[in-house]
Chains A and B, each alone.
Chain A
Amino acid sequence: KNEVEQSPQNLTAQEGEFITINCSYSVGISALHWLQQHPGGGIVSLFMLSSGKKKHGRLIATINIQEKHSSLHITASHPRDSAVYICAVDSWGKLQFGAGTQVVVTP
């Protein structure tokens, strides 16, 4: 069983909708990362957080260490947000990745 679980696996939204992706993990961690993988395959780091909340443009990431849960929110979604979003946890030097959430935003 993967120690990092993401939900949903797939998500389709209409442009302008609010999107939430969830990440649950079962190990102790020192940090959590959210990554974005574009349709062409490139991967970029969106957030790294160890507590609370971070915001960058229309993206918001939150983490609850006690509940071992993180969420990535996309406000006012746009077709260019279509990508795979990946959660990764740092368990004191060991990085473990979720399987990703495929997001499609339609015009």
Chain B
Amino acid sequence: NAGVTQTPKFQVLKTGQSMTLQCAQDMNHNSMYWYRQDPGMGLRLIYYSASEGTTDKGEVPNGYNVSRLNKREFSLRLESAAPSQTSVYFCASSEGRQGHQPQHFGDGTRLSIL
């Protein structure tokens, strides 16, 4: 069972470059999420998608865009990367809306911006 798959696992960017983090789930879940994790801080929600065709801002959306391509895939885009976006990014999915069902996490993407 693949669960939640994130690509790439590691990436180094230069300031100003753009990139897209990919996430796919094979559990037929309705809701998908993007989080960032920084040292000494809890996971923080960037964007979420409660269902196919909808997306909403989370706690720290600035500098990011998302696309819910279909029920399986939810991508996160950095249009112009900044050093403050150096972080570990996690994608997650759940059967129902946020918090009312267990969330299943990908293995994370370690992103460094120089």
Please encode chain A, from 14 to 45, with 1 for each CB lying within 8 Å of some chain B CB and 0 for all others: 00000000000000001101000000111111
Contact A97 B44 (CB under 8 A): yes
B102 within 8 A of A: yes
Q: Is the CB of B42 within 8 A of A30?
A: no
Which chain B residues lie closer than 8 Å to A100 at the CB level? 42
Contact with A along B34-49 (1 / 0, CB 8 A): 0000001111110000
A42 and B98 contacting across the interface, CB-CB below 8 Å: no
**Size of B's binding interface in residues, CB under 8 A:** 21
Contact in complex: B99, A31 (CB < 8 Å): yes
Q: Are B98 and A2 in contact (CB under 8 A)?
A: no
Which label, helix, strand, loop or mixed, suits the secondary structure of the B interface? loop
Q: Does A61 contact B (CB under 8 A)?
A: no
Stretch touching chain A among B16-24, B61-69, B71-79, B104-112? B104-112
- Residues of B with C-beta under 8 A to A40: 107
Measured between beta carbons, the chain B residues less than 8 angstroms from A57 are none
- What residues on B are CB-neighbors of A99 within 8 Å? 40-42
A10 vs B36: C-alpha distance when bound (angstroms): 21
Point out the residues of chain B lying under 8 angstroms from A41, CB to CB. 88, 107-108, 110
A91: chain B residues at CB < 8 Å are 99
CA distance A97 to B97 in the complex (A): 16
Chain A residue nearest to B41 (CB atoms) is A99
Given A94-B98, A94-B99, residue A45 in contact with residue B104 (CB < 8 A)? yes
Counting chain B CB atoms within 10 Å of each CB, which of A33, A40, A43, A99 scores highest? A43
Contact A42 B42 (CB under 8 A): no
